[in-house]
């Protein structure tokens, strides 16, 4: 009796507990055959921006290569048809058990429920194991059994539980292809050739250890330096499991700070699991009552933000980095998010949607709750009155201006930190860079006034 393994956001072979369960089951059955599968909602894939299409396609191509060309991609135009088509393909091979990693985000749960029910109707069973996280969401709880709403105590408890070692792939499985379906082909262009996959993720981790890990606490906020891990794409696609990453860390100050970043990802997944509505709705509902701008001027400002044409160099560099690379430095993500919500007075969901369309490392929980943190409406949130100054943030985290000049060529002629205030120079805007679309000081006061309105009875 053969087994199937449904790859999801775990596009790797090593440290994949659910895959090990499939191989072990196949060996116990005396068959050893495992059919590797992937379910693709074609309509969702088509709606992705080019960089995200190419990112997923590159991940699947690398996985298929590691599997010896046996990955079967089942595709349909919507989830209901996809579930039926997936279950029918399984039933045609007489497969009774499909193994997969359990998802905890709302869309992932919806997908596994739809496919699980379709498999049941076709006489098969969906076995779910492990998660995309070190500790499955919903596990780390207070003594009274309630979920954590604040990161620091969550981290202390999570640390005590996060001791699992990476799992070595079980040997002896025989990966077999179901049919001859092709891997998905992007319909949109990407700004560069995406390199992805498990081997690349492990090389990225190795390079990070040599390049910046031991100084992570010093370098991580500098947008102009390569001080971050660049593992977010691999973690989002499951090309590497966070267990594998944690196994490389010591208790040094720099390593501890990096461990906390991994824990933030797990905290947000836990928050979303307990509050699935917060994928698109306010965690703190009172902020839904705040005055936000709408209309033609608001739409124009949103477009300027999306295109990196706000006239604030640090904001524009980040937004252009996103469009050019499918990634943005984490400190800059906070800067551009604060600018959208508190300088342009637009709702955080507009920014979250734009990030979802363009980020190659998109993670539903981290995206939604990262935005809510900056917007002041999430769990353990930055207070709303903490409003990032895009000029001083640039001066602090891009002190030589190299980051801005890299992504905003209209300002390449300006040397040093002066690039963060080009309007002060005679020739600062001479090469087509726009003047600021708003006055930050005035909009800061406006944001505080709108916050005060919420406190009125």
Topology (CATH) of 3-130: Rossmann fold (3.40.50)
Q: What is the pLDDT of residues 348-365, one digit of tens each?
A: 999 999 999 999 999 999
Average confidence (pLDDT) over 207-232: 97
Q: Are 335 and 318 in contact (CB under 8 A)?
A: yes
Find out whether 230 and 271 touch, Cβ atoms under 8 Å.
no
| DSSP notation for 380-421 | TPPPTT----HHHHHHHHSTTSHHHHHH-GGGTTS-GGGGG-
The span from the CA of 282 to the CA of 285, in Å, is 5
Per-residue model confidence (pLDDT) at position 276: 97
pLDDT tens-digit profile of 139-158?
999 999 999 999 999 999 99
Neighbours of 289 (CB within 10 A): 10
- CATH-assigned architecture of domain 133-165+198-274: Alpha Horseshoe (1.25)
The mean pLDDT value for 189-215 works out to: 96
Distance CA 254, CA 419 (A): 31
Antiparallel, parallel or unpaired: β 33-41 and 174-175? parallel
> Rounded mean pLDDT of the chain?
96
- pLDDT score, position 174: 95
Cβ count near 187 (within 10 Å) = 10
Question: Mean pLDDT throughout 388-416?
Answer: 98
Q: What is the pLDDT of residues 93-132, one digit of tens each?
A: 999 999 999 999 999 999 999 999 999 999 999 999 999 9
Query: What pLDDT is stored for residue 346 in this prediction?
Result: 98
pLDDT value of position 163: 85
| Whole-number pLDDT of residue 36 | 97
* Interval 422-431 mean pLDDT: 97
Q: Is the pLDDT of residue 399 over 90?
A: yes
Residue 380: is its pLDDT beyond 90? Answer: no
Rounded-to-integer distance, Cα 87 and Cα 401, Å: 54
For residues 11 and 239, is the Cβ–Cβ distance under 8 A? yes
Q: Using CA atoms, how far apart are residues 178 and 357, in angstroms rounded to an integer?
A: 31
CA distance 113 to 104: 11
Q: Which residues pair with 7 in a beta bridge?
A: 38
| Residue 381 pLDDT greater than 70, yes or no | no
Residue 125: beta bridge partners?
A: 97
The reported pTM is: 0.95
Cα 431 from chain centroid?
35
Residue given tokens 């949607």 in the structure block: 353
Residues forming beta bridges with residue 73, ordered by sequence position: 38
Q: What is the DSSP string of 275-301?
A: -GGGGTS-SSGGGGGS----SHHHHHH
Structure token pair of residue 197: 């996959």
Average pLDDT over residues 421-425: 98
Parse the chain into domains and list their residue ranges. Answer: 3-130, 133-165+198-274, 285-455
Question: CA nearest 337: which of 295, 393, 260, 266?
Answer: 393
Using DSSP, state whether 434 is helix, strand or coil.
coil
The token pair that represents 133 in the structure block: 């996280």
Flag whether pLDDT at 382 surpasses 90. no
How does pLDDT run across 25-83, given as a tens digit for each residue? 999 999 999 999 999 999 999 999 999 999 999 999 999 999 999 999 999 999 999 99
Strands (E), 299-411: none
Q: Which CATH code of 3.20.20.70, 3.90.1170.50, 3.40.50.20, 1.10.579.10 fits the domain covering 285-455?
A: 1.10.579.10
CA distance 71 to 99: 14
pLDDT above 90: percentage of residues in the chain = 95
Per-residue pLDDT, averaged over 426-454, amounts to 97
Give the percent of the chain with pLDDT over 70: 100
């Amino acid at each position: 009796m053969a087994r199937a393994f449904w790859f999801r956001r775990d596009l790797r072979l090593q440290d994949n507990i659910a895959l090990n369960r499939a191989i072990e089951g196949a060996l116990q059955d005396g068959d050893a055959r495992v059919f590797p599968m992937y379910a693709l909602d074609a309509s969702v894939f088509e709606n992705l921006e080019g960089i995200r299409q190419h990112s997923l396609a590159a991940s699947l191509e690398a996985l298929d290569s590691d599997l010896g060309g046996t990955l079967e991609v089942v595709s349909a135009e919507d989830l209901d048809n996809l579930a039926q088509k997936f279950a029918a393909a399984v039933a045609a091979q007489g497969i009774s058990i499909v193994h997969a990693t359990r998802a905890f985000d709302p869309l992932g749960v919806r997908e596994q429920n739809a496919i699980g029910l379709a498999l049941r109707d076709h006489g098969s069973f969906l076995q779910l194991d492990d998660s995309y996280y070190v500790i499955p969401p919903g596990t780390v709880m207070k003594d009274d059994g309630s979920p954590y709403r604040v990161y620091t105590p969550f981290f202390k408890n999570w640390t005590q539980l996060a001791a699992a070692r990476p799992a070595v792939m079980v040997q002896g499985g025989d990966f077999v292809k179901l049919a001859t379906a092709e891997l998905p082909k992007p319909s949109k262009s990407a700004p560069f050739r995406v390199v992805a996959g498990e081997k690349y993720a492990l090389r990225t981790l190795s390079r990070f250890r040599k390049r910046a890990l031991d100084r992570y606490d010093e370098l991580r906020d500098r947008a102009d330096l390569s001080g971050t891990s660049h593992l977010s794409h691999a973690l989002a696609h499951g090309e590497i499991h966070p267990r594998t990453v944690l196994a490389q860390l010591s208790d040094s100050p720099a390593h501890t700070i990096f461990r906390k970043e991994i824990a933030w990802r797990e905290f947000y997944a836990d928050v979303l699991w307990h509050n699935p509505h917060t994928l698109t709705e306010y965690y703190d509902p009172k902020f839904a009552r705040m005055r936000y701008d709408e209309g033609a001027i608001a739409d124009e400002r949103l477009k300027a933000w999306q295109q990196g044409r706000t006239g604030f160099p640090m904001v524009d560099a980040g937004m252009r980095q996103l469009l050019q690379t499918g990634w943005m430095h984490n400190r800059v993500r906070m800067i551009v998010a604060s600018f959208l919500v508190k300088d342009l007075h637009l709702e955080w969901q507009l920014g979250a949607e734009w990030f979802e369309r363009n980020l190659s490392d998109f993670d539903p929980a981290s995206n939604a709750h990262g935005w809510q943190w900056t917007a002041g409406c999430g769990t353990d949130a930055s207070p709303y009155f903490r409003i990032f100054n895009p000029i001083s943030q640039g001066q602090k985290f891009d002190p030589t201006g190299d980051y801005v000049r890299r992504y905003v060529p209209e300002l390449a002629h300006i040397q040093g930190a002066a690039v963060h205030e080009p309007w002060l120079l005679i020739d600062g805007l001479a090469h087509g860079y726009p003047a600021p679309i708003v006055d930050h000081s005035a909009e800061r006061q406006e944001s505080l006034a709108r916050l005060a309105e919420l406190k009125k009875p």
